[in-house]
A and B are shown apart, each in its own frame.
Chain A
Amino acid sequence: MTSLTINGVSIDVEADSDTPLLYVLTDELLLQGPRFGCGLAQCGSCSVLVDGIETRACVTPIATLKDKSITTLEGITAYYAAKSGLASIPQSTPVQDALVAEQALQCGYCYNGMIIKATELLLNNPDPSDAEIRSAMNGHLCRCGTYPKIISAIKKASLMIRVAQQGEDDTITEGLA
């Protein structure tokens, strides 16, 4: 029995301690965010946040996760709200909103990892440059080739976050139009 904290809830899981976190999330807890892509830490399909750091669930045995806080896509709004000091949990995060606004996806399968990684990035660096975005996202693959659209969506999300934080700053809101 291993005790894990997932999206703020503490859960005892029966799986052997060498089981990769991904299989606990998908097969036991039936979560839909993290998903199998390679099982080799090469693609980012299975990404979750562990204590705020993007982590590949497919190669992370649950034994290493005691006393850590795991956030999946299902918990990303609550996590984002807590980290940004929002009064309530929004329906979706700026990254999710921007991806839809930019119509940035095709099959959308890679979006779990993209959202997890972009959220980590923007919480650490709310105003990343193009190069910083590319470098942060470089470990996440997209077979459908949506990279250019994801980059613009992350820029848009960054703007949305900064506008929300700085209120009515005209110089920033102009860029949103």
Chain B
Amino acid sequence: MKKTLTMTPVKRRSLLKAGGALIINFNFQTTTFGQEQRPLAGPPDPEQIDSWIAIHQDNTATVFIGFAELGQGCSTALLQVAAEELDLSMAQIGTIGLDTHITPNQGGTYSSSAMRVGGPQIQRAAAEARQVLLQMATEQLKVDFDSLQVENGIIYSNETKTRNTSYGELIGDRQFNLAFSGNAPLKNPADYKLVATPFPRKDFPLKAKGTYRYIQHLRLPNMLHGRIVRPRGQGAYKNGVQVVDINEASIASIPGARVIRRSNFVGVVAEKEWDAVKAAQQLEIIWDQPDSLPGNENLFTQMEKGLTNERVAVEQGDVSAFNEAFVKSEFKAYGPYQAHVPFAPNCALADVKQNSALVMCSSQDIYNTRTSIANLLGMETEKVRVQFHDGAGTFGHSCWDDVAQAAALMSSMVGQPVRVQYMRWDEHGWDTYGPAHIGKTRISADRNGKLVSYEYEGWQHHWSLIETSEQTAKGTPAAEWPPFPAQQINPRTLGGMYDIPNRYLLNHHVPGLDYLKGAWLRSPVDLSFSFVSEQAIDDLAFQLGIDPWQFRQQNISEFHWLGVLNAAAKAANWQPRPAAENVSNAAIVRGRGIGVGTHLASYGGAVAEIEVNKRTGDVRILHLCGAIDAGLVVNTSNVENQIVGQLVQTASRMLLEEVTFNKTNVTSLDWASYPILRFEQCPEITPVIVQRLNEAPSGAGEEVMAAAAAAIANAFFDATGKRMTMYPFTPERVLQTLAV
């Protein structure tokens, strides 16, 4: 394979002469850029076998996967699916990076879609390829189709054992040129050899050695380093960024550093990275920063008081049954803005020429990013090529589109390739945050402990559509995504697991332009939903004097939901007793709680054990058990890791994470002002998979977080007899709650 990327000629000859002990690898993983295979702008036709699979002469296969590897291991799992159907070994199968000139458009990697959507697509393509190959083998070997067997890509016939052929021999490096027949049989799950096993991830050894190339490691020939320059911390979305004055002379002392400006988009470029970093910090700019944000203090009052757009999400039965019910719970609680803040700030490289553009970035939806970059540059879509390269785990829409646009803009203005990486404060301060939420619920049950009515009203704004780079460079006005379910209240998590005859869910869309930028953050708003809803459910159980696990059991008939509920309780060795039974005057108290919830599919159940220090207000989470039912789990070790990650992140989000802002701008700009969980705070974690071999994969990347958030909140009540009405559980908030 030809090299298509070369390193900037290394200026540091002295280093190379110094000897071989320093390991420097200039040899970029060029298979990633195999444009010789498909020189045309994609997406390739999804109904063609060649769009998905290429068989090589050496009897190996390349699978073209349209999903981003986000650290969740989906690339390994999707290869397991393909290898299983093709009867290849994992050593014989590989993939290449996402590229709008090569890989199919499977839609963005959202909502745990990789396995749910991608699994069946790739399985079908592999089955089609296998069927064609077997037909070719019948002709070549002159044997009956039904007598053929495949092992590691070698095709044998039962009839004439001596004769065989192989995939590579039949079609190696030639195209199938065939559309899907639609009738290729899929393997029976009982015969799975690779699927549903903990196959080790292919990227791990390289990552542990440090030789894996993240986007942050890539370099283009003759490139400059760029940094964006914005106020520290965003203001209201509608205001974008307003430059009043720039003193370009303020960076004159940095050799080669230049200011790049288009309208209110400001950046600096320099040949050396440190010079770009210094220049971005040293550049004197006066900004106009209107004080139009509500600040943390007035956030919820403003959200609730302002005009909102209402939508009834669920209306079923008559919730006025509440009035006559035996026990009632009314509860209102709040969830903060939280940030994605990947461990490494986002990075992108762009090489924009007169008539073409190459953009390398970490977009989870390269085809969508291509459109936005083409618009921004005023170029035809087909002329823009976007490649995905993974960076650090991002858990939703962080700044990857924004930085890709910034790199493209800077490259188009300097006429050279530019690599842009955000600084820590850019990433923390200009994120599209997981939106804040207000939830208000009224739930009731009868004297037998059966739920009677369920009402929920939720307030939050939508996701931001226009990236700050475009907003500042082109003056495109801020705008939100049009309404659609994923950014609104979630009927699955809001009581959807229970048998409730009367239910009413009302969504208040708060127009978002006066607030911070928003987007989907792993399990979008679900932690807030279940924080409100599952505490109210728990409260009914408490009023009835029933154990909270048993109360849920008697109100759930759907077997998947019961499955995760019971699996979590069992893993935690839950012994039934009513909540808050052991509340005492001790300074340090413990409690345990249970909860159920999910995102848009799959099922999650969790149990938490926590410790509260009533003197200091410190909360420690001691143990989290989380169970996921995600249908068929292809790679059990991946999903186990996913559950561990979700539970640790939930602990972090419930105890520590909150975006802070005043009237002008965001003030949580680094790991000190926006802390996340650390080793010493990390609870014991017990992941549980409820495996369903005969069901389709439904996604396991975010579906136990809502349950775990609820379990933590309910554990607090069990320990103290008090309910928290806002997270994170900071010491001040805890002391306030305990004082009431």
Contacts and interface: CB of A to CB of B under 8 A. Distances in A.
B739 interface: no
Interface residues of A, number: 67
A103 interface: yes
Given A27-B272, A143-B342, A137 B679 contact: yes
Nearest to B214: A109
A84 interface: no
Contact of A30 (B7, B395, B679): B7
A86 interface: no
A23 B387 CA distance: 26
A96 B649 CA distance: 24
A132 B635 CA distance: 33
Categorize the interface residue count of chain B.
35 or more
A74 B210 contact: yes
Given A12-B14, A106-B641, A115-B208, A141 B343 contact: yes
Interface string A2-13: 000011111111
B345 to A, nearest CB: 7
A140 interface: yes
B96 interface: no
Nearest to B14: A12
A43 B675 CA distance: 11
B641 A146 contact: yes
A38 B7 CA distance: 25
A108 B212 contact: yes
Interface in B354-410: 390-393, 395
Interface string A24-41: 001111111101111110
Contact of B10 (A7, A30, A96, A107): A30
B71 interface: yes
A177 to B, nearest CB: 18
A31 B211 CA distance: 9
B567 to A, nearest CB: 19
A134 to B, nearest CB: 4
A106 B645 contact: yes
Nearest to B344: A109
Nearest to A76: B210
A125 interface: no
Given A141-B671, A145-B648, A38 B424 contact: yes
A141 B678 contact: yes
Residue from A112, A138, A139 whose CB has the most chain B CB atoms within 10 Å = A138
B26 interface: yes
Interface string B1-42: 000000100111011001101111110000000000000000
Contacts of B647: 145
A148 B641 CA distance: 10
Nearest to A144: B393
Interface in A92-125: 92, 96-97, 99-100, 103, 105-112, 115
Contacts of B685: 148
Contacts of B646: 145
A148 B684 contact: yes
Contacts of B469: none
Interface in A61-92: 73-75, 78, 92
Contacts of A96: 208-209
A177 B274 CA distance: 48
Contact of B207 (A11, A108, A143): A108
Interface of B: 7, 10-12, 14-15, 18-19, 21-26, 70-73, 198, 200-201, 203-205, 207-214, 216-217, 219, 225, 272-274, 277, 341-345, 390-393, 395, 421, 423-424, 637, 641, 644-649, 652, 670-672, 676-680, 682, 684-685
Given A35-B344, A109-B391, 14 more contacts: A11-B15, A13-B12, A19-B274, A20-B274, A23-B274, A33-B210, A35-B217, A36-B216, A103-B201, A109-B214, A111-B210, A134-B682, A145-B648, A148-B644
Interface of A: 6-15, 19-20, 23, 26-33, 35-40, 42-43, 45, 73-75, 78, 92, 96-97, 99-100, 103, 105-112, 115, 133-135, 137-151
6 contacts: A23-B272, A30-B7, A30-B219, A35-B214, A74-B210, A107-B391
